[in-house]
Amino acid sequence: MTHPSTRTVHQPVPATGGSAPLRVPLYQGHTFSFTDTMAEAFGGPGAPYVYARYGNPTVDALEEAVADLEGGAGAIASASGMGAITATLWALLDTGGHVVAQDRLYGGTQGLLDALRTRWGVEVTQVDGEDPEAVRAALRPDTRVLLLETIANPTGRVVDLPVLTALARAVGATTVVDNTFATPLLCRPIEHGADIVIHSATKYMGGHSDAMGGVAVFADPGTLEAVRERTAEFGAVLDPFAAWLVARGLSTLALRVERHCANALELAGRLAAHPAVARVHYPGLPDDPGHATARRILDGGFGGVLAFDLAGGLAAGRSFASRIRLAALAPSLGDVRTLVLHPATTSHRELDAEGLARAGISAGLIRVSAGIEDVEDLWKDLEQALS
Ligand SMILES: Cc1ncc(COP(=O)(O)O)c(C=O)c1O
């Protein structure tokens, strides 16, 4: 089998007679006419296309490409990363049950867990994902799901996937891993025992902030059809044009990830030596608490997102954000452009000091999604904003 970076470029393309296009064609239409009887068209997996909420060739091609990259048996694409997470958790927890989740999670995922707990009667236990003993203690015979992120947002902590997936398997729970930050180029959680891998394709896979999408990849096809059904029921299906854009983005993923990682590592090192910076959070730094695990779990880089605490706290964070010039002051991540965020005054502004502390976010924390620009230009921008 070829290297994943080769497979991002050589995505499966359906043959058309004696030749084939180099790229997956865009089938933008949502309705297909029948050449056979309607009953056959509605006949489940492998049946002809009928209506895009149940399947579309461009979307299917993306699913196949991502399943292949992650080493999964199949994948379901969704309208966004949250669509993929929601459909997956809903399929696994449709009759309630118990979930164990790490406590540092993307805010949208945390919101979904809160809704599952308060509105749908799902029991949720959240623990420090970097503490295998805490995870072991939280897992129960009736635990259905262990929910993890390979690299946690925004502090870059890395969980020990082989250890945690084995613990979940021992009680019969399904491990779901959000691999958005790592991409299948740095980590393939199924190789470490995960059952389902989630991506917000909106981030690195698409890579250009012009397409939203999500993908759930399944180690074995067991729950795939249930997630497909939930995705169609919610109407959270991926639009063919977004699928086409994500597939195009995928073909340059390896080059971009290499540069994102190199820039993030260089900026993290320089920030760590800057007097205005109290602490840098990046698993690529040798003294980072996640470094040893990251070296075992990640291959080829430590990701493109770093964060740092400004010594001057909230006021320094506000001032830094207002002085950024080259980087964009923006949420999201994984874009070719560098994006900077001050969570305490933007994404997490509703949290008080205690809430921020629980999320592992200091008032002066700045998150940087390193783009692919020249690193000296990026450093000049960060340095002038720090001065
Ligand atoms: C780690 C992670 N997972 C999931 C999501 C949700 O993805 P989307 O915005 O595509 O719904 C995000 C969004 O920022 C994220 O950072």
Is the link from the previous residue into 154 a cis peptide, with omega within 30 of 0? yes
**Residue 360 confidence (pLDDT):** 78
> What is the number of the ligand 1 atom nearest to the C-alpha of 105?
1
Nearest CA to ligand 1 atom 14: 332
> What is the number of the ligand 1 atom nearest to the C-alpha of 203?
10
Beta strands in 295-334 (DSSP E): 305-310, 328-329
Pocket test for ligand 1, best of 78, 82, 231 (most atoms within 8 A of CB): 82
Which residues lie closer than 8 Å to 282 by C-beta, 6 or more apart?
156, 264, 265, 268, 288, 302, 306, 307
**Residue 39 confidence (pLDDT):** 57
How far apart (Å, rounded) are the C-alpha atoms in residues 149 and 159?
7
Using CA atoms, how far residue 10 sits from 7, 64, 66, 69, 292, in Å, is: 5, 12, 12, 11, 33
203 has catalytic annotation: yes
* pTM greater than the 0.85 cutoff: yes
Nearest CA to ligand 1 atom 7: 81
Assess whether the C-beta atom of 362 lies below 6 angstroms from ligand 1.
no
**Residue 40 confidence (pLDDT):** 60
Looking at residue 51, the DSSP 8-state letter turns out to be B
Task: Give me the catalytic one of 60, 68, 178, 288.
Answer: 178
Q: What is the residue-level pLDDT of the chain in tens, covering all 387 positions?
A: 899 999 999 998 877 778 889 999 999 999 988 776 665 656 555 678 889 999 999 999 999 999 999 999 999 999 999 999 999 999 999 888 999 999 988 889 999 999 999 999 999 999 999 999 999 999 999 999 999 999 988 888 899 999 999 999 999 999 999 999 999 999 999 999 999 999 999 999 999 999 999 999 999 998 999 999 999 999 999 999 999 999 999 999 999 999 999 999 999 999 999 999 999 999 999 999 999 999 999 999 999 999 999 999 999 999 999 999 999 999 999 999 999 999 988 888 877 787 778 677 899 999 999 999 999 999 999 999 999
**Residue 31 confidence (pLDDT):** 93
Q: How far, in Å, is the centroid of ligand 1 from the Cα of 82?
A: 6
**Residue 305 confidence (pLDDT):** 98
Structural domains of the chain ordered from first start: 4-250 (3.40.640.10), 253-386 (3.90.1150.10)
Q: How far, in Å, is the centroid of ligand 1 from the Cα of 199?
A: 8
Q: How far, in Å, is the centroid of ligand 1 from the Cα of 276?
A: 30
Using CA atoms, how far residue 364 sits from 106, 107, 337, 339, 342, in Å, is: 19, 18, 23, 17, 8
> What is the number of the ligand 1 atom nearest to the C-alpha of 331?
14
**Residue 354 confidence (pLDDT):** 78
Nearest CA to ligand 1 atom 8: 81
How far apart (Å, rounded) are the C-alpha atoms in residues 333 and 340?
9
Assess whether the C-beta atom of 212 lies below 6 angstroms from ligand 1.
yes
Phi, psi (5° rounding) for residue 128?
-70, 110
Among all chains, which residue has been given the structure tokens 């959270």? 236
Assess whether the C-beta atom of 180 lies below 6 angstroms from ligand 1.
yes
Is residue 75 classed as helix, strand or coil in its secondary structure?
A: strand
CB hemisphere CA count around 288 (13 angstroms): 28
